[in-house]
Amino acid sequence: MSEIRILAIESSGINSGIAIGSDKELIYESSLYLKHSHDETLAHQIKQTLELLKMSVDDFTAVAISSGPGSFTGLRVGSAIAKGLTFGNHPKLIDVPTMSAFAVAASEFAISLNIDSIFIIIPSNKDYFFVQEFSQIGEPKSEPILYSREEVKCLNLGSNIVCGTGASEFIENNYQLSGLNRLTPRFILKFAQLKFSKQEFIESEIFKPQYYQDFTPTQKKVDK
């Protein structure tokens, strides 16, 4: 039986990157810290990495892609590349929700610190944020909810772990994990490994990322 290899692509934020791993381990990771350059650099970054590692698309069992919510351009470019790589259903395609990827990455800290909940905060448009609560092991406890900046400040986040690209704005009395305020390719890989173990794939022909403007979370007012 051939080795399992997963190519994970992160393009939902202002930076981009890729990770390569087995179904259990991280083998390689590369991130490019050039803001909003996905359309110019991501495909080239993947090509260069495969050449460096002497690999081809045929060597991969699955391709994982961050599916949003996130940057419109980043998600559009990343999804187009992932769908192209998985055309014909080989390799398999794995979609990775960005908020779930953050939560699973934070779960080991929540377990070690015995913290009950993980809150993921991701900016939407001006002065609005998506907030979702997860359990200690990274399972959803709520749907994503859209809050204004002032409403997030009024949330009773308690002494829980708070992470995500919008977390740094709301740091009072919470466990802040600085390494979890930016989504990295290894986080995409980690969640993809979980989905791979359950054989949870999506057909490339029907995959569509969750753009901010298409995302329809529950909008909820905070009791002050």
Strand, helix or coil for residue 121: strand
How does 118-127 read in b/e, with b if 16+ C-beta sit within 10 Å? Answer: bbbbbbbeee
- Reported pTM: 0.89
β-bridge pairing 128-135 and 175-176: unpaired
Largest CA distance in the chain: 58
The kind and range of the H/E element at 68 are strand 62-68
pLDDT over 70 at 86, yes or no: yes
* Residue 152: both structure tokens together: 């997030």
Identify the pLDDT of residue 173. 46
* Residue 201: both structure tokens together: 């794939």
Q: How far apart are the first and last CA of the chain?
A: 58
* Residue 196: both structure tokens together: 């791979």
pLDDT over 80 at 34, yes or no: no
> What are the domain boundaries of the chain?
6-97+183-218, 99-180
Residues 170-199: pLDDT tens digits?
865 455 566 788 889 999 999 999 999 999
Q: Which residues pair with 140 in a beta bridge?
A: 134
7 phi, psi to nearest 5 deg = -100, 120
Domain 99-180 has CATH 3.40.50.720: no
The CATH architecture to which 6-97+183-218 belongs is 2-Layer Sandwich (3.30)
> What separation in angstroms does the CA of 149 have from each of 122, 133, 154?
11, 17, 9
Q: Do domains 6-97+183-218 and 99-180 have the same CATH topology?
A: yes
Report whether 164 contacts 122 (CB < 8 A). Answer: yes
Rounded to whole angstroms, the Cα distance separating 137 from 109 reads 9
Residues 102-117: pLDDT tens digits?
999 999 999 999 999 9
Report whether 181 contacts 168 (CB < 8 A). Answer: yes
Give the contacts of 17 (CB within 8 A, at least 6 positions apart): 9, 10, 29, 30, 31, 32, 45, 184, 185
Report whether 55 contacts 183 (CB < 8 A). Answer: no
Rounded to whole angstroms, the Cα distance separating 153 from 157 reads 9
Poorest-pLDDT segment among 11-20, 80-89, 100-109, 167-176 = 167-176
Poorest-pLDDT segment among 96-100, 170-174, 204-208 = 170-174
